[in-house]
Structure 1
Amino acid sequence: MAFTPRFVGAILAWRPTWFIARLALTSAYLLGGIVKLTDWQGAVAEQAHFGMSPPAFWAALTIGLELVGPVLILSGRLVWLGAGMLGVFTLLAAFTANAFWTMPMGQERFMATNAFFEHIGLIGGFIAVAMIAQRRAANA
């Protein structure tokens, strides 16, 4: 049996920790959605930069996903759906924006490789959140 220090157990058992963890996981998406919503032209330009066509459609879809997914996760309702939305979005974004395997060796490839695997880590976080939410609901 693994030993958990008492202070760690207290933090994990503290009721707000569950919300804070979900907020930390989704904060970049919330912020991204808000920034894009307040800078529509920038959001459209970003989609055009990545070759998404029509860029306005993809900007609107991105904003929707970046706002609705976190709200579902944070509300505790349909967490699996919010986590799935953000997980699939993150996977597609990783392949679109961080295709390191197509780049020559160098700093740009190094940065894209790191960003790609950071995205994979986020996907793991979304899976974990969905699993924990399911177990919490089953035990309620």
Structure 2
Amino acid sequence: MATPDPRFVDAILDWRPTWFLARLLLVGAYLLGGAVKLTDWPGAVAEQAHFGMNPPALWAALTIAVELIGPVLILTGRWIWLGAGMLGVFTLLAAFTANAFWTMPPGPARFGATNAFFEHLGLIGGFVLAALVAEQAKRRG
């Protein structure tokens, strides 16, 4: 028999805003990134060019769209699976593009890129969990 959760844990998990706040924490960096890129178009294009994405303006526009639309879908609770999928695929592509640690010589830069790569994988897991929780809640009615 499983032991019950402590009361304070149940209180936090049962508190209605917890679900929204958890989603906001998950997507906040993407919202901020999309907003910053939207307000600094030349910087957004330069970032894509830095990572070898061609044409950089197209990739900047796609990045901004994904970084803004994905979080909105997740935060509004509509089509969470789609927003999570958009951000998950985007995050995986970004991890391989920006954090290719396996191509780097040993040292601090490789260590940082390795950490960032696996942090990106953790975010992808978070998106999968958000979609799973939303689907389970929908099925329970």
TM-score normalised to the size of structure 2? 0.98
* Matches for 1:18-29 after TM superposition, within 5 Å: 18-29=19-30
Q: State the shift of 1:3 in Å.
A: 3.7
TM-score normalised to the size of structure 1? 0.99
Residue by residue over 1:1-35, the C-alpha shift from the partner in whole angstroms, topping out at 9 and shown as x without a partner, is 14421101100110000000000000000000000
What RMSD in Å do the two structures reach over aligned CA positions? 0.6
Report SS of the residue matched to 2:53: coil
| Unpaired segments ≥5 residues, structure 2 | none
Report SS of the residue matched to 1:77: coil
Cα distance between partner residues in 2 of 1:5 and 1:26: 28
- Count of residue pairs brought into register by the alignment: 140
| Unpaired segments ≥5 residues, structure 1 | none
* Matches for 1:104-123 after TM superposition, within 5 Å: 104-123=105-124
Amino acid at match of 1:7: F
Residue by residue over 1:81-127, the C-alpha shift from the partner in whole angstroms, topping out at 9 and shown as x without a partner, is 00000000000000000000000000000000000000000000000
* Matches for 1:74-89 after TM superposition, within 5 Å: 74-89=75-90
Amino acid at match of 1:19: F
Cα distance between partner residues in 1 of 2:81 and 2:137: 12
